[in-house]
Chains A and B, each alone.
Chain A
């Protein structure tokens, strides 16, 4: 691949150690980035990839170790220092001001003129469009842009600041496959320009598609750095997880029965008062997993919230087991036999500062056997928690531990266990494996399949296209509040679903 004549690395990190309370996030990590290379940083969630790059970007201070940028030893105390050294970072969560235009977002930091700062900014943006093929409209408001476009703004931001070292944190997790390919093209053009790019990912396929070299991390340590030509998918997976990984889940064809959830012409308003869900109709049958795919922010969240009673339905109806559940309270809907595995588990799934025991009865504490007259029967509550801990293999010292202290995987097992224990007829799962490690992900996915085989109806909403394809019997693709289509996974290709995710109708 193209490599600048000057072989000196852009970045060298040596023996980086970073401790967080109770976690060794980086354990003597060495990392090197050359000019004109795309370097993938591969690892599971929690492997320490993002921590390492946050250190390079000055967000965290390393406890030990040295950083060299372009041959000079540096201390990077803040993003400002990093920017000055020519380091740019595109975070997973974009740091943009929604209500402002693209140009305003850039002018805030980089405009030189005090008056009329927008004019110079717009000219520079056009520059980047020509040089790297990044298409952005400087006058568009951020909230009008798709996630993929917002990501381009972030990249322009980094380039604007003069970055020749660009860090991208899981950049494709929010993109359609087509948008991802666009991004890769932009990255290749930047590579030709001699820039060094760090590409954080946990997706093996992307490593092979775009990277020149790959550094694999596991549990805070570097397992190895290889040239991509020398690597195989299996070898990388083994390095990443520490054992052999099965890529396929076993799935028998479903045998759908009676409809459990019936949604008719559902329209729901989003936070800003605009229609987020626009006339959606579908049903989920017993013994079926109905998947909803789509880029995050196309109304999936609002749809789920309307179904489980967390958001008002503007028009249309929701029926659960034939009973009207439209605009009923979350408790009434839960009592109809709906279990909910929410996204953002720390925010909506548990009460972080209450104990595991208390969290395990959040949806049933008000009834016997947990309620005894005006009081709660803590003995019974603890017994329930203990049985959940055993049955779902939740690693926790005691039922009295605060739920906040659980790892993501264990937290999710607690939530899933709590919901399933109530024996729901319908399980609504939003991004159930988001941010979980491979082991926990496998566990949750298998559990959902098993519940399907036990004749539960399951509504699965996920931003992870592979997950939706792997688990679902039918897939609806959501775009701008509507279903672009409902397909069977065996009848379409991943590419076709990807196209539908960007709004084009593909009729198989």
Chain B
């Protein structure tokens, strides 16, 4: 019985810690599918976390917090968009800069909040959905969660459908594969890319908001703790597919949760805490080489600015 309780606990925490990973990965999948690599996920999450925390603290309304978090994530993404789409700059450099900027900003502005706790009414709390929540084990895991959890689940399905079953999905995927072909159809490559990058930023902001308004009870320094990078690894792990990102993020989340939970049983906490990051490093390394990426099906034009051929 203790084992069942333990498993339930690991899964429940696992899905909670998977939610921000999923949200950020979903957004980045759209950005990358359009050909824009945004390594600024971590920074956008950090700023999203801070702005939503502050908003929720001041207004007492978690939804308003989430909205502001999404807006600020989107705003940062537009900086990346302006540099990499508008000015055709180097996307890796711009994305890294965005991460450093976002982390720095959130830690400077967040200093006053360290240790502050959101009042209960300003937070998203898990609420059991009766009677589904009384199903053994899975009941609690799937039906005793906060609203953002359900939203992220729904979002993964909707975003998968949009990407694979609609005209806009075809356009986004084509833009990441061969922007020249899209351009020749009379579709604006830049508009598609700005929009996809914006979606990426908004969802990274939402992921950050989840951390500060639903996941953590109080503001702490370095709230994101590398989750943006894990989300980036997830994008590769999922082969740029929202449904696989859903499964992948739950896997990552459960691995992370096992770390917390198993240390109580005497396993080395350092090793266990390191597991998600180790997994991230392995995936990022595998995905690093050009030929590997091509074989795994990365968007062919990923990271490459599009310019119409002129002489």
Q: 30 A-B pairs, CB-CB below 8 angstroms? A: A20-B311, A21-B311, A59-B309, A79-B184, A80-B186, A83-B185, A95-B178, A95-B180, A95-B181, A96-B178, A96-B181, A97-B173, A98-B300, A99-B177, A99-B297, A99-B300, A105-B174, A107-B170, A108-B167, A108-B171, A108-B174, A108-B181, A111-B170, A114-B166, A115-B165, A115-B166, A117-B166, A117-B170, A157-B185, A271-B291
CB-based nearest B residue for A115: B166
Give the CA-CA distance A111 to B173 in the complex, in Å.
Answer: 15
Whether A79 lies near B186 (C-beta < 8 A) is yes
Please give, as numbers and ranges, the residues of chain B lying within 8 Å of A111 by CB-CB distance. 167, 170
Please give, as numbers and ranges, the residues of chain B lying within 8 Å of A273 by CB-CB distance. 295
Give the CA-CA distance A99 to B168 in the complex, in Å.
Answer: 16
1/0 contact trace for B292-311 toward A, CB 8 Å? 00110100100000001111
Whether B170 lies near A108 (C-beta < 8 A) is yes
Q: Is B182 an interface residue (CB 8 A)?
A: yes
CB-based nearest A residue for B185: A109
Please give, as numbers and ranges, the residues of chain B lying within 8 Å of A243 by CB-CB distance. none
Q: Is B6 an interface residue (CB 8 A)?
A: no
Enumerate B161-196 residues with CB–CB distance to A below 8 Å: 165-168, 170-171, 173-174, 177-178, 180-187
Whether B181 lies near A117 (C-beta < 8 A) is no
Give the CA-CA distance A117 to B173 in the complex, in Å.
Answer: 15
**A20-B311, A95-B184 are contacts. A114–B168 as well, Cβ < 8 Å?**
yes
The residue among B182, B184, B294 with the most chain A CB atoms within 10 A of its own CB is B184
CB-based nearest A residue for B172: A108
Enumerate A94-134 residues with CB–CB distance to B below 8 Å: 95-100, 104-105, 107-111, 113-117
Whether A79 lies near B183 (C-beta < 8 A) is yes
Please give, as numbers and ranges, the residues of chain A lying within 8 Å of B300 by CB-CB distance. 98-99
Q: How far is the CB of B180 from chain A (nearest CB, A)?
A: 5
Give the CA-CA distance A286 to B33 in the complex, in Å.
Answer: 51
Q: Is A272 an interface residue (CB 8 A)?
A: yes
Whether A113 lies near B167 (C-beta < 8 A) is yes
Q: How far is the CB of A421 from chain B (nearest CB, A)?
A: 31
Whether A117 lies near B167 (C-beta < 8 A) is yes
Q: How far is the CB of A268 from chain B (nearest CB, A)?
A: 14
Whether A97 lies near B181 (C-beta < 8 A) is yes
Q: Is A78 an interface residue (CB 8 A)?
A: yes
* Total interface residues in chain A, CB < 8 Å: 34
CB-based nearest B residue for A154: B184
Q: Contacting A83 at CB < 8 Å: which of B167, B168, B173, B186?
A: B186
Q: Contacting A104 at CB < 8 Å: which of B168, B170, B311?
A: B170
CB-based nearest B residue for A104: B170
Enumerate B257-311 residues with CB–CB distance to A below 8 Å: 291, 294-295, 297, 300, 308-311
Give the CA-CA distance A79 to B187 in the complex, in Å.
Answer: 9
Give the CA-CA distance A477 to B298 in the complex, in Å.
Answer: 34
Hey, which bits of chain A sit against chain B, CB under 8 A? 20-21, 23, 25, 59-60, 78-80, 83-84, 91, 95-100, 104-105, 107-111, 113-117, 157, 271-273
Q: Contacting B308 at CB < 8 Å: which of A25, A59, A114, A116?
A: A59
Q: Contacting A272 at CB < 8 Å: which of B174, B178, B294?
A: B294
CB-based nearest B residue for A58: B186
Please give, as numbers and ranges, the residues of chain A lying within 8 Å of B181 by CB-CB distance. 95-97, 105, 108
Give the CA-CA distance A161 to B297 in the complex, in Å.
Answer: 30
CB-based nearest B residue for A54: B309
Give the CA-CA distance A21 to B294 in the complex, in Å.
Answer: 36
Q: Contacting B177 at CB < 8 Å: which of A78, A83, A100?
A: A100
Whether B165 lies near A116 (C-beta < 8 A) is yes
CB-based nearest B residue for A117: B167
CB-based nearest B residue for A94: B181
Q: How far is the CB of B299 from chain A (nearest CB, A)?
A: 9
Q: How far is the CB of B8 from chain A (nearest CB, A)?
A: 39
CB-based nearest B residue for A21: B311
Q: How far is the CB of B35 from chain A (nearest CB, A)?
A: 12
**A59-B308, A117-B170, A271-B294 are contacts. A97–B186 as well, Cβ < 8 Å?**
no
CB-based nearest A residue for B180: A95
Q: How far is the CB of A61 from chain B (nearest CB, A)?
A: 11
5 residue pairs, one from A and one from B, having the closest CB atoms? A80-B186, A109-B185, A95-B181, A95-B184, A117-B167
Please give, as numbers and ranges, the residues of chain B lying within 8 Å of A60 by CB-CB distance. 310
Q: How far is the CB of A98 from chain B (nearest CB, A)?
A: 7
Give the CA-CA distance A113 to B174 in the complex, in Å.
Answer: 18
Please give, as numbers and ranges, the residues of chain B lying within 8 Å of A97 by CB-CB distance. 173-174, 177-178, 181
Known contacts A97-B178, A97-B181; can you find 20 more A-B pairs with CB under 8 A?
A20-B311, A23-B311, A59-B308, A79-B186, A95-B183, A98-B300, A100-B174, A105-B174, A108-B170, A108-B181, A108-B185, A110-B185, A111-B167, A111-B170, A114-B166, A114-B167, A114-B168, A115-B166, A117-B166, A271-B291
Q: How far is the CB of B186 from chain A (nearest CB, A)?
A: 3
Please give, as numbers and ranges, the residues of chain B lying within 8 Å of A109 by CB-CB distance. 185-187
CB-based nearest A residue for B308: A59
Q: How far is the CB of B133 from chain A (nearest CB, A)?
A: 34
Give the CA-CA distance A449 to B311 in the complex, in Å.
Answer: 34
Whether A108 lies near B177 (C-beta < 8 A) is no
Whether A108 lies near B182 (C-beta < 8 A) is yes
Whether B186 lies near A78 (C-beta < 8 A) is yes
Q: How far is the CB of A54 from chain B (nearest CB, A)?
A: 9
Q: How far is the CB of B273 from chain A (nearest CB, A)?
A: 36
Please give, as numbers and ranges, the residues of chain B lying within 8 Å of A98 by CB-CB distance. 177-178, 300
Give the CA-CA distance A83 to B180 in the complex, in Å.
Answer: 15
Enumerate B126-185 residues with CB–CB distance to A below 8 Å: 165-168, 170-171, 173-174, 177-178, 180-185
Give the CA-CA distance A83 to B184 in the complex, in Å.
Answer: 9
Please give, as numbers and ranges, the residues of chain B lying within 8 Å of A95 by CB-CB distance. 178, 180-181, 183-184
1/0 contact trace for B100-125 toward A, CB 8 Å? 00000000000000000000000000
Please give, as numbers and ranges, the residues of chain B lying within 8 Å of A80 by CB-CB distance. 186
The residue among B180, B295, B300 with the most chain A CB atoms within 10 A of its own CB is B180
